[in-house]
Structure 1
Amino acid sequence: MEGIKKILGIVWIALALVVAYFCIVIFGIPKLTSGSQDDLVFGIIILFVLTPIIVLGLALFGYYALIGEYNDDKM
């Protein structure tokens, strides 16, 4: 079971990288460069608020799973 948790830790970290790419390249930058005031505000929220929270959460969860922090023998 610990091996599966470590593999899934790598998957969570990879998912964090994919989410970072999509949030920046697909959602954030096109909103910033569209020229509309509403899109500018939404792009700033995506880039500077949502992206760091989501990516750091996924990456930390994956890191802790990778180092075995969620194993049962730690308790």
Structure 2
Amino acid sequence: MENIKKILGFVWIALALLTAYFCIAIFGLPKIVSGKQEDVVFGIIILFILTPIISIGLGVFGYFALTGEYNKDKM
């Protein structure tokens, strides 16, 4: 079970990187440069609020899974 947690730690970190890429390159920047006011506001919300929350959250969760913070021995 501990090995599965460590493997899933890598998966969570990879998801954090993919989420950051998609939020910035696919959702955020194209909306900001579109020129429409609704798109600019949505792009700013995606880039500066949602992307850090999602990416950092997934990354920290993956890091904790890799380092063994969720092991039963630690409790």
Give me the TM-score of the superposition, normalised by structure 1: 0.98
Structure 1 residue runs of 4 or more that deviate by more than 2 Å after TM superposition: none
RMSD: 0.4
| Equivalent position amino acid for 1:48 in 2 | F
Aligned to 1:74: 74
Match of 1:69, SS?
Answer: coil
- Whether 2:41 is the aligned partner of 1:36: answer no
Unpaired runs of at least 5, structure 2: none
| Equivalent position amino acid for 2:65 in 1 | A
- Whether 2:11 is the aligned partner of 1:11: answer yes
Give per-residue Cα distances to partners, 1:21-72, cap 9 Å, x unaligned: 0000000011001010110011000000000000000000000000000001
Unpaired runs of at least 5, structure 1: none
Aligned to 1:62: 62
Same amino acid, percent of matched pairs: 75
Between the aligned partners of 1:5 and 1:39, the Cα distance in structure 2 is 39
Between the aligned partners of 1:41 and 1:70, the Cα distance in structure 2 is 38
